[in-house]
Amino acid sequence: MLAALMIPLLMAQFNITRIPTAVAEIVVGILLGKSLLNLVHVTSNLTMLSSLGVIVLIFLSGMEIDFDLFKPQPKNNGPSWTPVKMASWAFVGILVTAGLLGWLLHLIGIFNDYLLATIIFATIALGVVIAALKEKELLSKPLGQTILLTAVLGEVVPMLALTVYASLNGGHAGRIWLVLLIFLAAIILLLRFRGIYQFFERIDKATTQLDIRLAFFLIFTLVTIAERVGAENILGAFLAGMVMKLLRPSEATQDKLTSLGYGFLIPIFFIMTGAKLDLRSLLADRQALALIPVFFICFMVAKLVPFLVFKKRFTTQNALAGSFLASTTITLVLPTLQVARNLNAITSQQSGAFILAAILTCVLSPILFNQFYYPEKEDLVKTKVTFVGTNLLTMPVAQQLSKGWYDIRMVTDRPKNYRTYNSEIDNIQLLDRLDEPTLVDNGIFDTDILVLGYSDYELNFTMAQQAVQHQVPRIVARFESHDIAEDRYEILAQQGVEIFNSYNVNISLLRGMIESPSSLKILTDTEAGLYEVTVHNRRFTGIALRQLPFIDLITVSRIYRNGKYVPPHGDTLIEPNDHLVFTGDKDVVKDLRQQLSRKN
């Protein structure tokens, strides 16, 4: 535990940023273990903690999968090579190349188990890839999504292949079908606990931490089932992480699980991995020593195909950088080798050579990625706002918003209004009708904010219901009904639709002019106004408000967090998805919004 504490401190002290912490922990384990100082010995307690560490590591890897990336994307004449398509072809190429390399090693007599070699060469270290992408703020960009999906496949597919391999070589070939029980159990748990967090919020307290208890219940349940049906426990842990992710835990829950894993159990696993290595015997054996560069070259060559695929959309330099990052492997290699050793399918010298070659990829690949990656010039990704209804109310608002960071689109089904306002704004479209198929075909629901601005509140209500079904992130609807018996207002409010009407707006405006004319001037000022930005970039979460960039040029008045307003102070820690309400100059606001709202 002293080593686990000192490693990140020393890395920070000597500004070692290009080497993943996991690799540093393995290297320190080598120094402290039987290879050199012989201070750390393998005991039953350390073995148990190390096993828990790898289970939690794989569980957290399962939680890192962004399932939204697998949703079908709207057909809007975008690039034909989507991240899902590129990642799929890239990993198919990796799998084929890994198989050829495994067969070649078997053919020349270097390593006989070509199926095991294929599994190992096809693996990608998802955790290391995510850390590198976060550092470059690439997770929300097409290149980052493509590399991430490739890494996900490089962890999921080899893990399933490892389960089949272990069953075949462990004498349980007839029980392979039982592996399906793990997936069935995962589905049952997902359905059973869906929506459980709403219940937790009402009864949870500091001394119960129900979300963490649920996480470990999922881990141990699926790990136990996996072991009982003859599968590997890491498959159960990975499925537990996927189930937990699909339950949509809060950012705070994910942070607590990450803190527990990377703060305690996972470092023990990596340090013990290094401590178990016997470099003296490995380096004394010339044949084993010769295996290290061979395995390292195979790890790198197996990931050449992604370069050819990534070039279909990205620059040659960035495609090469993505290929280097995809060659990073360590996370799944270690448990795979452990399984192989338990089955007596590999010698200790071969296992050590594989580990050292994997360590080399973790050291060199992120460095090469950082060296070759060059950020392409990108325009600020604007928030898409679609106005349904083009009239005297919506047109001035659209014109003002189009001058800022909003991508405005207006649609109407009234030819007269279209002819009147067609020259006033660039993107305005005339639709034949406003039924749901027409709205879907024209991509009306493919927007960040949908504004329903017709005076006909019944039409707005109908379109709002359709927008809710299509999961539009924000829906703003005009509702001009003055009937006190009208219950559709409450229906929209309960569904999260933001409602306005001219009567309430005018009352609020007049009240503001009387009570707080200065605040009203801030709202209507064209140069310095009142703004709001949502914090998605994890680089700025967990830090004090005073450490924000440009904080000396803005004034934060409120923080909107989990449905409540939090008074801001210099020491207030920023949490994911915080809404910062502030005033400042428009030029500063643009840069600040670009940094804080970038999903990373």
> Using one digit for the tens of pLDDT, what is the confidence trace for 63-120?
877 776 666 555 544 567 888 889 999 999 999 999 999 999 999 988 988 899 999 9
Sign of the dihedral defined by the CA atoms of residues 479, 484, 485, 487, in that order: positive
The Cα–Cα gap between 122 and 96 comes to 9
pLDDT given for residue 380 in this prediction: 47
pLDDT tens per residue across span 467-485? 998 889 889 998 877 665 5
Domain co-membership, 439 together with 411: yes
pLDDT given for residue 323 in this prediction: 94
Domain co-membership, 249 together with 215: yes
Instruction: Report strand pairing: 383-388 vs 474-478.
Output: unpaired
pLDDT at 9 over 60: yes
Domain co-membership, 364 together with 393: no
pLDDT given for residue 379 in this prediction: 41
Task: Return the CATH number at 421.
Answer: 3.40.50.720
3-state secondary structure of 58: helix
Burial of 284 (0-12, 13-18, 19+ CB in 10 A): exposed
Domain co-membership, 490 together with 354: no
Residue 489 forms part of a structural domain? yes
pLDDT at 283 over 60: yes
Ranking 97-106, 384-393, 489-498 by mean pLDDT, the lowest is: 489-498
Question: How far lies 534's CA from each of 164, 358, 562, in Å?
Answer: 45, 39, 12
| Rounded CA Rg of the chain | 28
pLDDT given for residue 28 in this prediction: 94
Q: Which of 349, 372, 395 is the last residue of a domain?
A: 372
The Cα–Cα gap between 246 and 191 comes to 10
3-state secondary structure of 387: strand
Residue 167 forms part of a structural domain? yes
* Interval 267-276 mean pLDDT: 90
Residue 442 has phi, psi (to 5 degrees) of -95, 10
Domain co-membership, 571 together with 469: no
Domain co-membership, 415 together with 359: no
Task: Return the CATH number at 521.
Answer: 3.30.70.1450
Domain co-membership, 201 together with 87: yes
The Cα–Cα gap between 82 and 230 comes to 37
pLDDT tens per residue across span 174-232? 667 778 888 899 999 988 888 787 787 778 777 888 889 999 999 999 999 988 887 77
Name the average pLDDT for the chain: 84
DSSP H/E element including 531: strand 528-534
Domain co-membership, 350 together with 484: no
Residue 99 has phi, psi (to 5 degrees) of -65, -40
Domain co-membership, 439 together with 496: yes
* Interval 515-537 mean pLDDT: 69
Residue 249 forms part of a structural domain? yes
3-state secondary structure of 276: helix
Nearest to 20 by CA among 109, 105, 132: 132
Residue given tokens 């649920």 in the structure block: 214
Domain co-membership, 480 together with 368: no
Question: How far lies 30's CA from each of 4, 176, 253, in Å?
Answer: 13, 37, 33
The segment with the largest mean pLDDT, out of 138-147, 227-236, 349-358, is 349-358
The Cα–Cα gap between 501 and 559 comes to 26
Residue given tokens 């799998």 in the structure block: 95
Residue 72 forms part of a structural domain? no
Residue 378 forms part of a structural domain? no
Nearest to 175 by CA among 163, 186, 187: 163
pLDDT at 590 over 50: yes
C-beta separation of 412 from 395 below 8 A: no
The segment with the largest mean pLDDT, out of 39-43, 190-194, 392-396, 455-459, is 39-43
C-beta separation of 372 from 134 below 8 A: no
* Interval 371-393 mean pLDDT: 78
Q: Which of 344, 372, 400 is the last residue of a domain?
A: 372
The Cα–Cα gap between 178 and 183 comes to 10
Residue 30 forms part of a structural domain? yes
C-beta separation of 142 from 83 below 8 A: yes
Task: Please tell me the total count of domains within the chain.
Answer: 3
The segment with the largest mean pLDDT, out of 20-24, 232-236, 317-321, is 317-321
Residue 77 forms part of a structural domain? no
Ranking 51-65, 112-126, 215-229, 368-382 by mean pLDDT, the lowest is: 368-382
Residue 76 forms part of a structural domain? no
pLDDT at 252 over 90: no
pLDDT given for residue 77 in this prediction: 46
Instruction: Report strand pairing: 528-534 vs 579-585.
Output: antiparallel
Confidence band, pLDDT 50/70/90 cuts, at residue 391:
confident
pLDDT at 376 over 70: no
Domain co-membership, 493 together with 521: no
Q: Which of 479, 508, 537 is the last residue of a domain?
A: 508
Stated pTM of the model: 0.68
Domain co-membership, 199 together with 313: yes
Q: Which domain holds residue 464?
A: 383-508
Task: Return the CATH number at 140.
Answer: 1.20.1530.20
The Cα–Cα gap between 3 and 9 comes to 10
